[in-house]
């Protein structure tokens, strides 16, 4: 079974600075997807960024980027120029690739609570 | 935009009551999921469905059942609510078989308190 570990229950960062959230996972699969989801206080969970395991290039979405190290099974999230609106719970998640006709299951880490301070 | 809605944001029930949590998505997604979220435990999958009338157990199905009579609607049922089922319940959907994206889209959540 796959597991996802987020070793930092809470983190804080000053506005405009850069912060990195850690995530490691354990799997015997070779083809899979990795995600970072964000859950702001009392608001809906939304996707921040996703990475296909077969792609060597790290995904980037504006101020959000990942450092994907497949051999080390590591998938960290870097937030540049942190903003107050980045304050949220961040969840790392794993999904193994399922051939057409199958179903998808996300395995989540326990989350990291990020606070951006003014 | 994908929209996933849940019938209630907050719900208070008594031990032993039968509880229905409803989830509706408007993007013709094939897959739907129910999670519960507890502090320090993250999200845990209760049940999921990849087609109408189809369901599969997730990691913590005990004490729950589900129903999917229509593609857009996925219901979570607590047959006899207990205090240890007090939690935040999140519904999600994803496009499913043969589609390009595998991203799951989440509803706003239902915070259930069982007294």
* Residue range B67-109, pLDDT digits in tens: 999 999 999 999 999 999 999 999 999 887 655 557 889 999 9
Residues, chain A: 118
Is A103's CB within 8 Å of B40's CB? no
Is A104's CB within 8 Å of B31's CB? yes
- The answer to whether A46 and A38 have CB atoms below 8 angstroms apart is yes
Query: Of A46, A105, A109, which is closest to B42 when you measure between CB atoms?
Result: A109
Max mean pLDDT among B2-11, B12-21, B49-58 falls in B12-21
**pLDDT digits over A45-58, tens only?**
999 999 999 888 99
Q: What is the pLDDT of residue B97?
A: 66
What are the residues facing B25 on neighbouring strands?
B4
* A79 or A54, which is more confident: A79
Backbone angles phi, psi at B55, to 5 degrees: -150, 150
| DSSP E strand boundaries for B1-115 | 4-6, 10-13, 19-25, 31-38, 42-49, 56-57, 65-70, 73-78, 87-94, 105-106, 110-114
- Residue B10 confidence (pLDDT) above 90: yes
- The answer to whether A49 and A59 have CB atoms below 8 angstroms apart is yes
Is B31's CB within 8 Å of A100's CB? no
Give the count of beta carbons closer than 10 Å to the beta carbon of residue A95.
21
Separation of alpha carbons A61 and A78, rounded Å = 10
The whole-angstrom distance between B53's CA and the closest CA on chain A is: 14
Separation of alpha carbons B33 and B93, rounded Å = 6
The whole-angstrom distance between B33's CA and the closest CA on chain A is: 9
Does residue A86 sit in helix, strand or coil? helix
What are the residues facing B99 on neighbouring strands?
none
Separation of alpha carbons B11 and B8, rounded Å = 7
Average pLDDT over residues A96-118: 83
- The answer to whether A108 and B43 have CB atoms below 8 angstroms apart is yes
**pLDDT digits over A5-38, tens only?**
999 999 999 999 999 999 999 999 888 999 999 9
Query: Is the CA virtual torsion A85, A107, B108, B51 positive or negative?
Result: positive
**pLDDT digits over B33-77, tens only?**
999 999 888 899 999 998 898 899 999 999 999 999 999 999 999
- Residue A77 confidence (pLDDT) above 90: yes
Q: Give residues with Cβ within 8 angstroms of B55, minimum separation 6.
A: B47, B48, B49, B66, B68
What is the distance, to the nearest Å, from the Cα of residue A43 to the centroid of all Cα atoms in its chain?
18
Mean pLDDT of all residues in chain A?
92
**Token reading at B104:** 């799951």
- Residue A95 confidence (pLDDT) above 60: yes
What are the residues facing A76 on neighbouring strands?
A67
The whole-angstrom distance between B52's CA and the closest CA on chain A is: 13
Residue A35, chain B, CB below 8 Å: the answer is: yes
Is B106's CB within 8 Å of A44's CB? yes
What are the residues facing A92 on neighbouring strands?
A36
Q: Give residues with Cβ within 8 angstroms of A71, minimum separation 6.
A: none
Is B102's CB within 8 Å of A33's CB? yes
Secondary structure, 3-state, B74-89: EEEEECCCCHHHCEEE
């Amino acid at each position: 079974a796959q597991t996802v570990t987020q070793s930092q229950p809470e983190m804080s960062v000053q506005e405009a600075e850069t912060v990195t959230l850690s995530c490691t996972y354990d799997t015997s699969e070779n083809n899979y997807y990795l995600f970072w989801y964000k859950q702001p206080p009392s608001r809906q969970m939304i996707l921040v960024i996703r990475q296909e395991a077969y792609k060597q290039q790290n995904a980037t979405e504006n101020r959000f980027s990942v450092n994907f190290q497949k051999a080390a099974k590591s998938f960290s999230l870097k937030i540049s120029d942190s903003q107050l609106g980045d304050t949220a719970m961040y969840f790392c998640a794993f999904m193994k690739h399922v051939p057409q006709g199958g179903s998808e299951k996300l395995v989540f880490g326990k989350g990291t609570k990020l606070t951006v301070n003014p | 935009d994908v929209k996933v809605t849940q019938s209630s944001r907050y719900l208070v029930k008594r031990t032993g009551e039968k509880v229905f949590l409803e989830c509706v998505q408007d993007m013709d997604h094939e897959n739907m999921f129910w999670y519960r979220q507890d502090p320090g435990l993250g999200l845990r999958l209760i049940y999921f469905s990849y087609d109408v009338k189809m369901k599969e157990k997730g990691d913590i199905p005990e004490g729950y059942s589900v129903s999917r009579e229509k593609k857009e609607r996925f219901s979570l049922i607590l047959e006899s609510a207990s205090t240890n089922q007090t939690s935040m319940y999140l519904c999600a959907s994803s496009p499913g078989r043969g589609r390009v994206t595998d991203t799951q889209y989440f509803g706003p959540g239902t915070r259930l308190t069982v007294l």
